[in-house]
C-alpha cells in the first residue's frame, strides 16, 4: 500500500526509557510556528465531572463537527497528499504537484517531470527520484488488505463500509502507481540524474542517494553530506541515528552534536521538534533536562500536526506539572486529524477502534472537550495544511 514508513528507536535517557518516534519520512513544514496556547506553563489539575463526559464517538461528533470522520474518498485523498507532502515540499515541489499526486494523475505527472528534469530542473529531478524510489518499494498487499476487510466485520456496519471503501481506494491508487512506474520510470536514467546532481553538491539529491545506499559506510557518508548541506530531513534522520545507536560505524570524531542537528531540523520539521522536546525532558547527550522548554516545544509541534511528544509528556511529567485536561485535549486534536485521513495507520481496524476509544474515554471531561475545541479552532487548519491534508 501507499504508506509512510515509520521507524521507532528506544533510547534510555536519564533513567527513563523514552520511545523516540522517528518518522523517517517526516511531514513537511511551514515557515512559521503558530502562537502558543493561551494557558499557563504548568496549570493545576482541573476538576473532573464524570456525569458529563462524552459517551461515544457519535455523541462527540454531534457536539463537535470537527471530530466527524471524513468520507472515505476525501480521507483517502488526504492520506495520499500527506504521504508525499512531507518530502516533496522539502524538494520545492508545488502544491499543484501534490494535488496531482492525490488525484492519481501519476502517469502524466511523471512524464511532465521527466521533461522538466531533462532541462536540469533540480526540483523535478529530486521529485522524480523520490517517485522512482516509491516504485522500488511497491509490493503486493492484496492478502493483507483482504485480511483487514475481513476483520472490519467486527466494526459497526457504517465503519466497516467506510474502511472497505478506503482500502479499495488505496488498492486502486497503488495499481495506478504501478502502471505509471512501468510506463514512465527508468531507474537507471533517474539514478544517473540524481547522482549527477548530488555530485554538484545538491543536498536533497545526496539524501535521496542515501535511501538506496549499499552499505552503512555509504549511508553514513551521504547522510552527513546532506545534513551538512542543510537538508532538514537529513539533519533529522542523522540526529536520531546518532542518538539511537552507539555503533562506532556511525560515531566519528568531529561529528555534529545530534542535539544541534535536531534544533536545526526543528526549525522546519514538527517531528524533529517533537523529538527535541523529549530530549529536553529526558536530558539527551548530557544536556540538563528543561521541563519548560520541553512542554513549549511539544506544544508547538502539536500545533503543527505532531502531538506525539505532548501526549507522551502528559503521561511522564510529575503529577501536577501539566493539566490532565490538556493531554486529553491534544488526544482529541490528534483523533480529529486521523478522522480526516491526515494520519492513517496500516493496522486499519485497530486504528479505527483506537479513535473510538479515545473519543469516548473517561478522560474526555467537559473541560478537555472545551480545550480541544479551542485548540482545533486555533490550530486545526494550520495543522492540516502543514501535514498536507488541509483545505
Sketch the domain layout of the chain as residue ranges. Answer: 7-387
User: 7-387 adopts what CATH topology?
Assistant: 1.25.40
Give the pLDDT of residue 14.
34
Distances (CA, A) of 190 to 120, 196, 348: 12, 10, 34
Alpha helices in the chain (DSSP H): 57-63, 72-91, 95-103, 106-117, 122-137, 142-151, 157-184, 187-199, 203-210, 216-228, 232-244, 258-266, 270-282, 291-303, 308-316, 324-339, 348-359, 366-387
Residue 101: what pLDDT? 94
Write down the pLDDT at residue 175. 93
Series of mean pLDDT values for 10-residue runs along the chain (391 residues): 30 36 34 27 26 42 83 95 96 96 95 97 98 92 91 93 94 94 96 97 97 90 95 96 82 84 95 95 90 95 95 88 91 95 90 91 90 96 92 60
Which residue carries 482541573 as its cell?
46
* pTM, rounded to two decimals: 0.83
325 neighbors 348 (Cβ within 8 angstroms): no
Q: What pLDDT, on the 0 to 100 scale, is given for residue 61?
A: 60
Per-residue pLDDT, 27: 31
Amino acid at each position: 500500500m501507499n504508506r509512510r514508513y515509520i521507524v521507532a528507536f528506544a533510547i534510555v535517557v536519564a533513567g527513563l526509557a523514552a520511545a523516540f518516534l522517528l518518522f523517517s519520512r517526516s511531514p513537511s513544514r511551514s515557515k512559521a510556528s503558530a502562537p502558543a496556547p493561551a494557558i499557563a506553563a504548568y496549570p493545576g489539575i482541573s476538576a473532573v465531572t464524570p456525569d458529563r463526559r462524552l459517551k461515544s464517538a457519535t455523541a462527540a461528533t454531534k457536539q463537535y463537527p470537527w471530530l466527524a470522520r471524513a468520507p472515505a474518498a476525501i480521507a483517502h485523498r488526504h492520506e495520499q497528499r500527506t504521504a508525499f507532502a512531507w518530502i516533496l515540499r522539502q524538494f520545492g515541489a508545488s502544491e499543484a504537484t501534490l494535488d496531482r499526486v492525490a488525484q492519481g494523475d501519476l502517469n502524466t505527472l511523471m512524464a511532465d517531470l521527466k521533461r522538466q528534469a531533462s532541462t536540469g530542473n533540480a526540483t523535478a529531478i529530486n521529485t522524480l527520484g523520490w517517485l522512482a524510489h516509491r516504485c522500488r518499494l511497491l509490493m503486493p498487499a492484496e492478502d493483507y488488505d483482504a485480511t483487514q476487510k475481513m476483520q472490519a466485520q467486527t466494526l459497526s456496519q457504517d465503519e466497516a463500509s467506510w474502511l472497505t471503501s478506503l482500502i479499495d481506494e488505496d488498492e486502486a491508487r497503488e495499481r495506478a502507481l504501478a502502471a505509471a512506474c512501468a510506463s514512465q520510470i527508468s531507474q537507471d536514467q533517474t539514478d544517473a540524474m540524481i547522482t549527477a546532481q548530488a555530485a554538484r553538491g545538491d543536498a536533497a539529491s545526496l539524501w535521496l542517494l542515501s535511501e538506496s545506499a549499499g552499505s552503512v559506510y555509504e549511508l553514513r557518508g551521504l547522510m552527513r553530506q546532506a545534513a551538512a548541506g542543510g537538508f532538514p530531513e537529513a539533519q533529522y534522520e542523522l540526529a536520531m541515528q546518532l542518538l539511537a545507536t552507539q555503533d562506532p560505524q556511525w560515531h566519528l570524531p568531529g561529528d555534529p552534536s545530534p542535539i544541534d542537528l535536531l534544533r536545526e531540523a526543528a526549525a522546519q520539521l514538527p517531528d524533529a521538534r517533537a523529538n527535541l522536546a523529549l530530549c529536553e525532558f529526558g536530558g539527551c547527550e548530557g544536556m540538563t533536562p528543561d521541563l519548560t522548554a520541553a512542554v513549549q516545544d511539544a506544544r508547538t509541534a502539536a500545533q503543527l500536526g505532531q502531538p506525539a511528544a505532548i501526549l507522551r509528556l502528559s503521561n511522564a511529567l510529575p503529577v501536577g506539572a501539566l493539566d490532565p485536561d490538556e493531554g486529553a485535549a491534544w488526544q482529541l486534536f490528534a483523533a480529529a486529524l486521523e478522522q480526516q485521513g491526515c494520519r492513517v495507520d496500516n493496522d486499519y481496524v485497530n486504528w479505527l477502534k483506537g479513535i473510538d476509544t479515545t473519543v469516548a474515554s473517561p478522560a474526555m471531561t467537559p473541560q478537555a472537550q472545551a480545550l480541544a475545541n479551542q485548540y482545533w479552532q486555533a490550530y486545526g487548519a494550520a495543522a492540516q495544511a502543514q501535514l498536507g491534508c488541509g483545505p
